[in-house]
Structure 1
Amino acid sequence: MLSLTLRSVRGAINHISTRSLSPSYTPLALSPSQDSSTSSPIASSNGEADFDSLPAQGTARSTAYNRLLAFLLFLLPSFIQSRIRPGAFKPRRMHPTSWLDGLRGVASLIVFFFHFTDDTHKGLLMSYGVQRDGDKAASSPLQLPFLRVIFAGKPMVHIFFVISGFVLAYKPLRQIRARQFDSLQKTLASSVFRRGFRLFLPTLVSTFIIMFLRYYGWIPRKAKGSLYEQFDQWQHEVIKILGFIWQWDSSRTPDYDSHLWTIPIEMSFSMFLFVVVTGLSHVKTYVRLAAVVGLGAFCLRHGHYAGWEFMAGVVLAEVQLIQDAHKERKAALEQNKEAAYIESSVGTAGLSDSTADGSRRRSVAKLIFQGFLIVNLIFALYVAGWPREKWEETPAIDFLLQHTPEPYRSRGQSWPIFIWYAIGAVQIVLALQQIEPLRRVFNTKPAQYLADVSYSLYICHGPVMKVLHHRLMPYLWEPVGGIQGADMGGRFLVWFFGLTIMAIPVFWVSDIFLRVVDNKCVEFARWIEKKCVIDE
């Protein structure tokens, strides 16, 4: 039935006018190894939509019909469009760092799950066996350690920062190791120039839309009198968000969208990273590694957890390049050995025994190292389930809380958690980097689609939920007796169906925002850079 429906829709699409279709999306490409033009799904050599083979329609009526059909096609999420017109989409190009994109996408999804759960089911954010004051419902299996990671949104933000450190440093470090210092200067200059556009233009658009949603009452927040007064408040809020850059990693919550508190931190520590990479670009590898590790540890010790996470990303990127170079040398050495064995059989048996012994030792060492990484991963995933309240009643978490160092311990709020999230985020990314089977999950098609929409999903899920949450959830709570009257099973059903229903508009809006706003902001940043830079 599904295949028949798709064939019918494809047949209808084949009658769409050439001019009525707009280009499809270009995936969000934060990785320096990726160019968004190469991963665009439209199958044409220059990255533009290629519909010239479609027949033109002569009448005004057919033209209007085609434009309407094209508009409806445009409204479909890109993954559905690719099913309807698979020939118009380029196959995805995978890169050595594609798994990081997938990890970022999955982390964005978990952030969405967290904010939905925090708005509707705060009891699920407690540890298993621990109830909120006045709540008599039994704990859900979702609250068990490790399972609760599916809505552990706060540690995902720290994973974002480690990933950013990795992908922002990867290309510059590769050029440093290749002694391509002229190219390095251009790369860093371009990154510094475009970073602000990349981070703030999409948020500028999203908060501008939120301004209208507030004014017209779609978001239940008291509007500021006239539309002009609402606009004046919005522009002051934009200036305040930009000013948060100078606060480094203090958690300042923007009024128009509280989830955007991470964006100024991304900006400030991106600049910090570019300065560090520039300053260490001409030193030896071991000196650079030691300096970056030292800087990261210094940041962590003095309360700048994001500095630690960005610097850890730089170290992991350098380690990746070192391992890649080692693999290349090893492959070349194996080829030379094979040629030598063919030329002479003298001493071959002894050499084979020696090689086998060395291989066994390396295998044992690798297994021990991977076991160590898995233990670290288990610790990090347990810490990721840090409860929302009553930390002291959670096994092991109470121990970490007692041993939280200053200045995190005395700052209150969520600060005691940040140092453990920061350590755990590095442990998670390191384990995934070094254990290949774990990376495969993040190279799958669903994970890579999440990678495409990750930034849009992060920006859009909050406003969409604010518009729909108070309209949807009362209808779901009513059959199970309301929030207070529902038992554990009823609450789980409301959580599951509410999240499933909410995901539809969230992903729909995020997909459109990706194509209409996010990708256009990337293109605008490149265009304005091209216009501003000096011709050589």
Structure 2
Amino acid sequence: MTAKPQQQNRRNIKWVEGLRGITSALVIATHLARALDYHLFWPADEKDGTPRLLQLPFLRIPFQGRIGVPIFAFLTGFVCAYKPLKLAYQQGNTPASLMAIARSAFRRPPRLMFPAVIATICSFILSCFGAYTAANRCDSFWVRFDAPDTKPFAQNVRRLFRALLATWTSTENVYDRHQWAMRPLLVGAFQVYIVLAATIGMRFKYRILVHLLLMSYWWLNVGHLTETFGSNLALGTLLAELSQHRPTQNFISNHQRTLTFIVAPILLLVGGYIGSYPHENENYAKWSLDLMHWLVAEDKEGSRGSLLVPKGSHPGRRCTSFFIHCVAVSLFLSHSLQKLLSHRLLLWLGHHSFAVYLVHGSILRTVGMWIVYGISGQPWTPAGFNEDGTPKEQHNFLHPKSRGHKLVAIVVFTACTYTAAWAWMKWVDTACARATQWLEKRVFEDEEEERKESLAEKGFHHVQTANGNGHALLRPDESERKEPPP
């Protein structure tokens, strides 16, 4: 049965928000694993050892890292493209579509930068009061690396301003290293806007060809993080395009059972197995070693690469990106999966996802580490020299109090994170949204009077129509003419 136009206009895209909510939860799970049980990134604790439950394929995906940022990149491509394409497809209004692109491009930087700056300042304040002492001295290298070390106040202030700038230049922010993805996501959004503006007047088949070529380009490009951002951004734009194409949606509706119960599960199973590729120590388990030989094609002569993992690329990120592609296509094809992701709990999580991303790092390095290692960071022996003058080999890092303390820390950290995210959205994000909206109103011409004032500044003025109906027309100022009108 063919989908009706009215049904097309009411297409469910709430699943996008639900997917965003799941992604924020996956980011938390990944960072907890990094901080408290790094061996979950391996296929086993030791070579040929018995793997734990969360080290097995599929089950390891939420905890092994690499998954959150690629999903955010895909969602950026989809969301940035959806509204302009909807205006172009359903309303046939290309000028309105281009205006939507312009407004979105204007809103994007402040909507990312304002909250990120506030989160960095909050972390700076915590650093000034020594809140990261336990994190600086714990035995988790990842936590120590993420936590800013103690500095005198003047140096701390200078470091703050460098961090605020470096977040958007070199992606280095010592107060919140999780903001490293902000700049690539911002640049990626503008890549989407450029593609939309350049292709909005093309015929459908040629626009699809452009998206496919971009996906191929980013996939074959072995530059840093190209598979994480470029290919997923292009996939999001492609699916946003197809979601507006009525023949494609009619085909999906007419074959929904096959797509939901056969195609989508196959994609998820194949993608999930490949996406389970370990972060390191692939030779610790047979299944991961087989994946390495198959995908990386590593032999005595070195890596030859493959279609999924080109030579010179990062195997783990390539495999995760392939998994994200499979998940995205499965969601696009299956209305049942879309409905599942449209649950109100997932929508709530999705609404608070950006706030979770911004606040969870500081809470983990403070409250979480306080519970596991203690607030004082004592006893602590700083690195230096032994009594005989020889240098000490390493710090005497703090060790977790117990496994029970870790479990309590996970529960308390999660509760504090989502409580802080709720408060952030209620006050901080609302204020940032209002500031962005105020800027947008000042910059863009929304009302008729504002357009008239703008044209008047360019040398136009109001005149009455010849029939005296009172409607104002805009004509060039005659005093500005250098030649008589034709």
Does TM, scored on the shorter chain, surpass 0.5?
yes
Instruction: Say if 1:441 and 1:447, in contact at 8 Å, map to a contact too.
Output: no
Instruction: Say if 1:296 and 1:308, in contact at 8 Å, map to a contact too.
Output: yes
Match of residue 19 from structure 2: 103
Post-superposition Cα deviations, 1:421-445, rounded to whole Å, max 9, x if no partner, equal 2222121011012112222331112
TM-score, structure 2 length as denominator?
0.73
Q: Number of aligned pairs? A: 386
Structure-2 separation of matches of 1:457 and 1:95 = 28
Match of residue 530 from structure 1: 441
Matched, 1:126 2:57: no
Match of residue 286 from structure 1: 205
Q: CA RMSD in A?
A: 3.0
Deviation at 1:224?
Answer: 2.6
Structure-1 separation of matches of 2:252 and 2:354 = 37
Instruction: Say if 2:274 and 2:319, in contact at 8 Å, map to a contact too.
Output: yes
Instruction: Say if 2:278 and 2:316, in contact at 8 Å, map to a contact too.
Output: no
Match of residue 438 from structure 1: 337
Structure-2 separation of matches of 1:375 and 1:205 = 43
1:131 aligned partner, one-letter code: D
Determine what percentage of the aligned residue pairs are the same residue.
19
1:243 match: secondary structure: coil
Deviation at 1:106?
Answer: 0.7
Q: Structure 2: which 5+ residue stretches go unaligned?
A: 1-9, 134-147, 298-303, 375-397, 452-486
Deviation at 1:259?
Answer: 1.1
Counterpart selection for 1:307 from 218, 225, 230? 230
Match of residue 39 from structure 1: none
Counterpart selection for 1:383 from 264, 274, 280? 274
TM-score, structure 1 length as denominator?
0.66
Instruction: Say if 2:368 and 2:412, in contact at 8 Å, map to a contact too.
Output: no
Structure-1 separation of matches of 2:98 and 2:400 = 63
Instruction: Say if 2:305 and 2:312, in contact at 8 Å, map to a contact too.
Output: no
Structure-2 separation of matches of 1:389 and 1:445 = 37
Distance 1:454 1:419, change over 3 A: same
Deviation at 1:496?
Answer: 4.6
Counterpart selection for 1:218 from 123, 128, 131? 131
Distance 1:237 1:368, change over 3 A: closer
Matched, 1:254 2:180: no
Structure-1 separation of matches of 2:407 and 2:272 = 22
Distance 1:499 1:386, change over 3 A: farther
Instruction: Say if 1:113 and 1:499, in contact at 8 Å, map to a contact too.
Output: no
Matched, 1:271 2:162: no
Match of residue 400 from structure 1: 295
1:147 match: secondary structure: coil
2:98 aligned partner, one-letter code: Q
Counterpart selection for 2:318 from 419, 422, 435? 419
Matched, 1:171 2:62: no
Match of residue 52 from structure 1: none
Distance 1:316 1:259, change over 3 A: same
Match of residue 509 from structure 1: 420
Distance 1:157 1:530, change over 3 A: same
Deviation at 1:285?
Answer: 0.5
Counterpart selection for 1:161 from 67, 73, 93? 73
Match of residue 372 from structure 2: 473
Structure-1 separation of matches of 2:28 and 2:252 = 43
Distance 1:530 1:144, change over 3 A: same
Matched, 1:231 2:157: yes
Distance 1:440 1:296, change over 3 A: same
Q: Which moved more, 1:185-194 or 1:316-325?
A: 316-325
Match of residue 112 from structure 2: 199
Instruction: Say if 2:252 and 2:333, in contact at 8 Å, map to a contact too.
Output: no
Deviation at 1:501?
Answer: 2.2
Matched, 1:318 2:230: no
Match of residue 430 from structure 2: 519
Q: Which moved more, 1:318-327 or 1:447-456?
A: 318-327
Distance 1:160 1:145, change over 3 A: same
2:281 aligned partner, one-letter code: K
Q: Which moved more, 1:142-151 or 1:453-462?
A: 142-151
